[in-house]
Amino acid sequence: MANLVHIPEQKEVARKTPIEIFPDPKIAVVLTNQQSGATNVPLVKVGDVVSIGQKIADVQAKVSAPVHSPISGTVIKIDNVYNSCFEYPTEAIYIENDGKKTKAKPLNTIKESELASTKNEELLKIIREAGIVGMGGAGFPTSVKLAVPADKPIKHLLVNGAEGEPYDTADERVMIERTANLVRGVRVVRKLLGNPKVIVVTKESKVEAVPKLQEAFKNEPDTEVRATHLTYQQGDAGMMQKAILGYEPIAGKRSYEMGTIVQNVATINAIANAVFDGEPLISRVAALNGDIPTPKNLMVKIGTPISEILKANSITDCGSVVVGGMMMGVQLATLDAPVTKRTSSILCLNKAHAKARKPTACIHCGRCVSACPIRLQPVAIYNAVIKGDFKKAEKLWAQDCIMCGTCSYVCPANLPLASNVKMARNSQ
Ligand code: SF4
Ligand code: SF4
């Protein structure tokens, strides 16, 4: 394995800052597609009045997840807006807030005492109807991920609390402030997977979260909390599997085929909210960090325009705004873009910081090759992509890229290696 590059963190202020509830937006901009899989279609039209938690877009397909209204009000427009999940504009439903906070009928729920006797199909249906997707960034529908075939027994559930992204602290605050809810969520996931061994994986540097997790999980069956040293790259599901269980993912195989499921803590929190409290996924915790005086964590409604969050926090000097992590995230093309189910963080880089990333010519230093955690040749893939030779990129295993961004991070020429490898990966 390559020597894993250490990425310095900038979390000291945000990790100690309790989650703050951000006010509901005046106009929510709810992207109809925030998941990977089938394309949702709107279930509402302009002029319709909607309630908090009402399903507003869905599709009948196996790999899918609906979206819900985060506020009550009137649908005023259906139009395209920049979608950070896909990095291009897609359809969104604009809802004008009526301030009434009218709630839709909650999802079907179960009591905690009923978990053992509840059929897996019923739990998966609640998770699906709640619109839950991987909130660590992948956006894969959770009800599909957890519907593991009966002939593929799961030996380990790794609860991913590593949060390696250097500015992100949302998961850390969830582990500190929603610890008991995580225990409830893990019980649901463990039941769905046939009661495998659970390892709650986090970093020893999360000094407030670790004892809380240890205390909360100490009486859970076949469960341990492992607070260890992990590099940024080991927050990736496959890399974590290798670090904790000792075996690497096999190219082309899903992790469940190797007996492991890795599930992020934010997603597990959402599962508990849905199954026991009837709440669809209409809000999430996102870190607000970067070159700003008061980094913090916000509980924000999905569909809140990023511009509204920046304005409310008096942030005006942004050279660029990156959502979803400094390493793996996306630089926004417009601040009109809304928070999505995958927006783990909103990072504001000042103009000087953004300018420092200007690319120059490759100096053939080889750093990108030695830094790639899965032993790809980022510079060779980059050269293939800029020549439009996607066949060659495929032969160079671009499709195995875990999009960690380390190659771009170490490149002294500031070449956009990771985004080009990602382009090749997405073209396969
Ligand atoms: S982004 Fe892909 S190519 Fe670059 S270091 Fe990470 S895994 Fe390797
Ligand atoms: S790290 Fe950058 S400069 Fe060095 S070989 Fe790779 S692409 Fe070229």
Distance of alpha carbon 337 from alpha carbon 358, whole angstroms: 24
Residue 428 has pLDDT above 70, yes or no: no
Mean pLDDT (the chain, rounded): 94
Q: Which two tokens stand for residue 392?
A: 């060659």
| Percentage of the chain exceeding pLDDT 90 | 84
Under DSSP, the state recorded for 184 is H
Residues with CB under 6 A from ligand 1: 371-374, 376, 378, 401-407, 417-418, 421
Verify whether ligand 2 is closer than 6 Å to residue 371 (CB atom). Answer: no
Distance of alpha carbon 428 from alpha carbon 424, whole angstroms: 7
Q: Which two tokens stand for residue 219?
A: 């009486």
Distance of alpha carbon 175 from alpha carbon 173, whole angstroms: 5
Specify the pairing of strand 73-83 against strand 49-50. antiparallel
pLDDT in tens, 83-134: 999 999 999 999 999 999 999 998 999 999 999 999 999 999 999 999 999 9
What's the pTM? Answer: 0.94
Number of Cα atoms under 13 Å in the Cβ half of residue 140 = 9
The residue whose CA is least distant from atom 6 of ligand 1 is 404
Contact 160, 235 (CB under 8 A): yes
> So what's the pLDDT on residue 356?
61
| Radius of gyration of the chain from its Cα atoms, rounded to whole angstroms | 21
Distance in Å, CA 310 to ligand 1 centroid: 31
pLDDT in tens, 6-29: 888 999 999 999 999 999 999 999
Sheet holding 67-68, edge to edge: 41-42, 55-58, 67-68
Q: Which ligand is nearest to the CA of 369?
A: 2
145: exposed, middle or buried (Cβ count in 10 Å: 0-12, 13-18, 19+): buried
pLDDT in tens, 160-191: 999 999 999 999 999 999 999 999 999 999 99
Verify whether ligand 2 is closer than 6 Å to residue 379 (CB atom). Answer: yes
Domains and CATH numbers, the chain: 106-357 (3.40.50.11540), 367-427 (no CATH)
Range 233-250 average pLDDT:
88
Contact 238, 400 (CB under 8 A): no
Contact 422, 403 (CB under 8 A): yes
> So what's the pLDDT on residue 425?
86
Instruction: Indicate the pLDDT class of residue 1, thresholds 50, 70 and 90.
Output: low
Instruction: Indicate the pLDDT class of residue 355, thresholds 50, 70 and 90.
Output: low
What atom in ligand 2 is closest to the CA of residue 366? 5
Distance in Å, CA 24 to ligand 2 centroid: 45
Q: How far is CA 109 from the centre of its chain?
A: 24
Q: Which ligand is nearest to the CA of 367?
A: 2
Q: Which ligand is nearest to the CA of 421?
A: 1
> So what's the pLDDT on residue 4?
82
Query: CA torsion 107→112→115→121, rounded to 10°?
Result: 10
